[in-house]
Structures are given as C-alpha cells and as structure tokens.
C-alpha cells in the first residue's frame, strides 16, 4: 500500500508493478498548488527544493531552468532533471545534508537562495544556512491537505490481510495513517503488515502499535527505501 501523494505514488507504483507486485494507492496527502506572484529569479544565486512537489509547483510558474538547484534527495533531483534543470546538486535525503551541500557549493556573497517549499515545512534549513552566513528566502508554492478518511477499498484490503507492506516517508504521513487506523478501529489488523520507514523519526511515530515488523532504511533517501521495499516484497514470493 502506497501512502504518498498521488503523483509520487504513481511513480513508485510503476517500479513495483514492473517487478510483478500488486499495488494499492492510498494517498494520505493531497497536494494543492498555491497562487503566487512571480519572483525575479535574477536576484537569487540558486534554488533549494526540499520535495518533488516543490519542483512541480515551481515549473507551473517559471520557465527558467538554468538557475542552479539543490535537491534534498534523489527523488527530488529526478523530478528536477525531468523538468529540464541543467545544474542539479543532490543531497543525501535530509535537510541537514542539504544545508551542508549548499554551504560547501555556494558563496554567501553571491546572493540569497530561494527555497521552494510547501506551506508546512520540516527541518530548519533556514536556520542552518543562516548560521553559515547565507540568506534563504522561502516561497511556499503548495500545501498538503491531509486525508480525513481511509477509502473503503483500503479498509477492506487491510482487514482481509491482503496488505503485506506499507512504506512511510515522513512522520506526518505516518501520523495521519495511524489516526485513520484508529478512526476505523483497525489497530489489530497491523500485525500482518510490515512497515517500511524512511528514517527513525518515521518509525518512532508508528512504534506504539504492534506490526509484523518495522524496518528502517539505512539512508534517508528514495533509493535506500526502495531497495528495502524490494527485498522484503521479494521474500513473500519465494
């Protein structure tokens, strides 16, 4: 079961289906793009993207693909490459590594950095860059609205034991999932499901309930998580 927003789930579903696995998409967040007056990018030395949705929101408004961009991880960098950006720097999957990459690669005297973000953000990218002498200006171009109910199809699959694995990418989506599980009184049906988490912060959010297993990716990036998902899904087919 894939719980990411629709576009992200669709991309991962293609990979899983190519491996022969069944997929149920159950997006827990709906992405809505926000109206925004166009900013003069000539005033900025680089862009910072902390999600693939930030890239999608940016390309709806701006034509510039020449400005250097810094992506928090592989999935975001892949979205930037697909959008046509020419100069992409990729961090290891979290805000700490993104800030370190930017401070190593940029000159604080060359101008501010524009952070394309959602309305709600996780991690203190601004604080880390400010401590290193950089100015970060945030442009929230989208918001992520949480789901208020699980679909009947998802409830049926969970209660009938047909869901074997659920990847979780963020503490927020993990919390939303657990809230919906409680709302549907399905806590006891998690014991046959393996939760696959991007980080320890994600696994901590779901650890108070009994799962078959809780697995955490070795590195907080899409590649590491997908490798973990691929290995565990293959186990059930041997």
Domain ranges of the chain: 6-28+147-235, 31-145
Q: With left for phi above 0 and alpha for psi between -120 and 50, is residue 226 left, alpha or beta?
A: alpha
**pTM of the shown model:** 0.84
Residues 6+ apart with CB under 8 A from 126: 115, 136, 138
What are the distances in angstroms from CA 189 to CA 21, 37, 68, 197, 236?
A: 21, 47, 47, 18, 18
Domain 6-28+147-235 and domain 31-145, same fold? Reply is: yes
Residues written for the chain = 238
**What Rg do the C-alpha atoms of the chain give, in angstroms?**
19
CATH for 6-28+147-235, among 1.10.357.10, 3.20.20.80, 3.40.50.1820, 3.40.50.10090? 3.40.50.10090
* Residue 224, pLDDT score: 79
Q: pLDDT tens for residues 187-211?
A: 999 999 999 999 899 999 999 999 9
Say whether pLDDT at 232 is over 80: no
Average predicted confidence (pLDDT) for the chain: 90
Secondary structure element (H or E) that encloses residue 145, with its range: strand 136-146
* Residue 37, pLDDT score: 86
β-strand partners of 146 = 29
Give me the CATH topology for the region 31-145: Rossmann fold (3.40.50)
- pLDDT bucket at 229, cuts 50 / 70 / 90: low
Report phi then psi at 5, rounded to 5.
Answer: -55, 160
For the chain, what percent of residues have pLDDT higher than 70? 95
């Amino acid at each position: 079961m894939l719980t990411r927003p629709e576009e992200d789930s669709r991309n991962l579903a293609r990979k899983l289906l190519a491996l022969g696995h069944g997929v149920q998409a159950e997006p827990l967040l709906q992405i809505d793009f926000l109206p925004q007056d166009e900013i003069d990018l000539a005033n900025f030395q680089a862009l910072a993207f902390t999600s693939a949705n930030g890239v999608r929101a940016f390309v709806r408004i701006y034509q510039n693909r020449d400005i250097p961009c810094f992506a928090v991880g592989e999935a975001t960098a892949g979205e930037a490459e697909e959008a046509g950006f020419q100069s992409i720097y990729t961090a290891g999957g979290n805000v700490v590594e993104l800030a370190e990459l930017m401070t190593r690669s940029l000159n604080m005297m060359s101008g501010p950095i524009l952070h394309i973000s959602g309305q709600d953000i996780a991690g203190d990218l601004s604080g880390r860059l400010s401590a290193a002498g950089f100015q970060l200006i945030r442009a929230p171009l989208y918001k992520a609205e949480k789901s208020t109910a699980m679909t009947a199809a998802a409830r049926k699959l969970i209660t009938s034991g047909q869901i074997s694995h659920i990847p979780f990418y963020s503490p927020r989506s993990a919390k939303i999932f657990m809230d919906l599980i409680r709302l549907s009184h399905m806590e006891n049906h998690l014991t046959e499901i393996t939760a696959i988490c991007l980080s320890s912060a994600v696994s901590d959010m779901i650890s108070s309930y009994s799962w078959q297993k809780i697995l955490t990716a070795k590195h907080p990036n899409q590649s590491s998580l997908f490798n973990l998902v691929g290995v565990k899904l293959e186990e059930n087919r041997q």
